[in-house]
Structures are given as C-alpha cells and as structure tokens.
Amino acid sequence: MKKIGILTSGGDAPGMNAAIRAAVRCGICAGMEVVGIERGYAGLLEGRFIPMGLRSVSDIIQRGGTILRTARCLEFLTPEGQQQGFDNLKKEGIEGLIVIGGDGSFRGAKVLSEKGFPTIGVPGTIDNDLAYTDFTLGFDTATNTILESIDKIRDTMSSHERISIIEVMGRHCGDLALYAGIGGGAEVIIVPEMKLTNEEIVQKLMDFRASGKRSGIVVLAEGAGKADDLAKMLTEKTNLDIRASVLGHIQRGGSPTHQDRYLGTCFGARAVQLLEKGIGNRIIGIKDNEVFDIDIHEGLSIPRKFRTDLYELAGIVAR
C-alpha cells in the first residue's frame, strides 16, 4: 500500500494519540503516505483529509483525547452513508484504513471490510467492553482517574462517617467499576453484569456497619443505575448518612498512563505492519501480554465474559 488513512471514532480515550503517533511514524518509515481523517466517520463523509508528517504527531504521546478529534456519526450507520465513506476513501487514493475506537466504530470498520476496503481496528475505549482483547486503550488511565477520586472521597467519608455512592462510566460493561473498586477497596461494587436488588444492597451496608466499619464506598457502574436514585433509596431504607458523586467525563480525559501509551504505540505499529503486507479486516488486541490480531468478524462475535472471580474477590477483601 502506498497511502493509508487513520481516524478516531466514538468516545475518545487516553492513549489514542499514542496510537496515531505510532501509526503515522511507522507508516512513513515504511514508505507510505499517511492521511489523518478528522472527526471520525463524520469527517470521512465530509472529506476532512489531512496529510500527516513526522512532525504533525510531535508532542502528543502524553496528551489525552485525540488530535484527530472524534464524533459519534449516525449517518455512517446507514447504507448510503457507508457507501459515501467507501467512495470518499477511494477518491482520495487511500488503500487501507486504521480505525481507532470501540464497539460501534468497529461495526463501521466491519462494513468497510465487507465492501472490500482493507480496514484495521485498534481498540480505543475507556469501557474495556471488547471481549476479544484483555484491555482497550484508555481503560487503565480511566481506572486510575477513578481511583484518585475514590481515595479523595474516602478521606472525607471516613472523617464524617458517611457512605459515598460513586457513579462511574460503563453503560453495558462493569469493568471500570470492578477494577477501580478493587484498587480503591470499595465496600460494594454494583455492575450491570451482576445486578443487586435494593434489599441486597441495604443488607450489604448493614453487614459492613455491623462488622465495625463506620464509612464506606459504593462504586456504581452507570449501566446499573443512577447514584442519586440509589442514595435516595438507601437514605430512606437505612439510618446511614449517604452522599452521591457522579464522576462523569473527568474519567475520559487526562494524560495517559504508561500502559495506555505502551498499548497505543504497539497497537498503532501492528496496524501499519498489517496494512503494509496488504492485510486488512483484522482487529488488534492484547492477550496474556502479547499483542495479536484477529479477524474482525471473529473478534466481534466473541461474547464478553465478566470476571466473576474478581468480583467475588473484591467482596472478600472488602470485609
């Protein structure tokens, strides 16, 4: 291939810039022209192509967000939009595409692959909701951001003998809540995969109180409920002093951790290596510390397994 494109799509994630930087520099090193497509699939439809040089990716590895910007593009979900995207790539002389994003972005990449356009997916989403890979770009940074908040909130909760409900991101996937909850010693973790009834939550808190704990942290994944609703219910059903915090988009920003810079670099490089060999229709991941790639259809059809072992461990070590 002589000319490849790269775009970021869906929710941004720390580490996307590291992947862009690696893809641009590895692509140029392999003698290819690299074109950045701004604003994800929306920019692909609008023809927002920009040439990328070695210096256009200087000073970005430490930055959160994505220098190419991103969008959630509804038009690309339609057959007309998808055809337009395919045509725009061809018109621009682009022969292969790297898509950095999550589940929705990969579905777009799958469509382009099915149309015969070689496309490689790099997993970039803080949610860690892609089953074929152990980790996605941004998950580690977001988990650490949540941890910092848990630590800070715990200081004040323990001073006032209160319980805090901390709502974190994760619409269908409880990994952010689970991993940050383990690291932050959360007394209760509530995730969409292991729904708890109100009675069970009340019972857990009463048990903690009875065991001598005077304050606590409940980490709630957004897909399992709203922090304010839960705080209201718990205030009504217990005599505990409850507060709620919604962390929101603070979780998506910030300088990437080493893991996300490392993964971004390795994923970006691997994507280019594949396109260089004329290979498309693959998505990249990390399994048991090894970077690998898998067929896009196969990878996306792997069902997600929630780590119930970790969830149980979190319950035991919080006692």
Q: Let me know if 127 is a catalytic residue.
A: yes
Which residue in the list 127, 129, 140, 293 is annotated as catalytic?
127
The reply on whether position 170 binds ligand F6P by CB under 6 A is: yes
Q: Please, what is the minimum distance in Å from the beta carbon of residue 267 to ligand F6P?
A: 18
- Please, which residue, 127 or 293, has the CB nearer to ligand F6P? 127
Positions 10 through 49 that interact with ligand F6P (CB under 6 A): 11
Q: Please, what is the minimum distance in Å from the beta carbon of residue 125 to ligand F6P?
A: 5
Look-up of token digits 């496309």: 119
Q: Please, what is the minimum distance in Å from the beta carbon of residue 4 to ligand F6P?
A: 25
Q: N- to C-terminal Cα distance for the chain?
A: 57
**Residue span binding ligand F6P (CB under 6 A) among the ranges 84-92, 115-123, 124-132, 279-287:** 124-132
* Interface with ligand F6P (CB under 6 A), residue from 19, 35, 126, 201: 126
The reply on whether position 274 binds ligand F6P by CB under 6 A is: no
Positions 218 through 237 that interact with ligand F6P (CB under 6 A): 222
* Interface with ligand F6P (CB under 6 A), residue from 17, 105, 119, 125: 125
- Please, which residue, 45 or 146, has the CB nearer to ligand F6P? 146
Please list, residue by residue across 55-92, b when 16 or more beta carbons sit within 10 angstroms of its beta carbon and e when fewer do: eebeebbebbbbbbbbbebeebeeeebbebbbebbeee
The reply on whether position 171 binds ligand F6P by CB under 6 A is: yes
**Residue span binding ligand F6P (CB under 6 A) among the ranges 121-129, 144-152, 187-195, 230-238:** 121-129
* Residue 3: Cβ-neighbour burial (10 angstroms; 0-12, 13-18, 19+): middle
**Residue span binding ligand F6P (CB under 6 A) among the ranges 18-26, 31-39, 167-175, 293-301:** 167-175
* Interface with ligand F6P (CB under 6 A), residue from 21, 39, 252, 282: 252
Alpha-carbon Rg for the chain in angstroms: 21
Pairing between β-strand 3-8 and β-strand 188-190 as defined by DSSP bridges: unpaired
**Residue span binding ligand F6P (CB under 6 A) among the ranges 37-45, 169-177, 192-200, 204-212:** 169-177
- Please, which residue, 119 or 128, has the CB nearer to ligand F6P? 128
- Please, which residue, 8 or 215, has the CB nearer to ligand F6P? 8
- Please, which residue, 127 or 140, has the CB nearer to ligand F6P? 127
User: Which residues does the annotation mark as catalytic?
Assistant: 127
Q: Which residues sit at the interface with ligand F6P, rule CB under 6 A? A: 11, 72, 102, 125-127, 169-171, 222, 252
